[in-house]
Structure 1
C-alpha cells in the first residue's frame, strides 16, 4: 500500500504566477513532490498541498 507525506505551501496575495510556478517546479524537481491540491482564496492568496510517496523497504529475515 502506498503511503504519502504532505507539505503545505502558502503564497500570499500579490505573488506572481511566475514566482509560484518556479517555487512549485523547484519542489517537484529537487524534492520529488507532486501537486495534490491548489486552493485559491477570495483575497487572492493560494494554499498549495504537495505530496510524495514514502518508500519503505521490506525487511526480509
Structure 2
C-alpha cells in the first residue's frame, strides 16, 4: 500500500479559473503534487487537497 502526504490549499472567492489552474499546475510540476479532492464552497471559495507519494529508500545492510 502506498503512503501519501497531503497538502491543503484555500483559494479565495475572487480567484479566477485560469489563476486556479496556474497555481495547481505549478504545484504539480515543481512539487510533484496531484489533485486528490476539490471542493467548491457556497461562498465561491475553493478548498483543494493535493497529495504526493512518499518514496522511502530501502536500507541495504
Partner of 2:41: 41
Matched residue count: 61
The runs of at least 4 aligned residues of structure 1 exceeding 4 Å deviation read: none
TM-score normalised by length of structure 1: 0.96
Q: Distance in 1 between matches of 2:24 and 2:5?
A: 16
Structure 1: 5+ residue stretches without partners: none
Q: What residue number does 1:57 align with?
A: 57
* Mapped partners of 2:52, 2:20: distance in 1: 19
Q: When the two structures are superposed, what TM-score results if normalisation uses the length of structure 2? A: 0.96
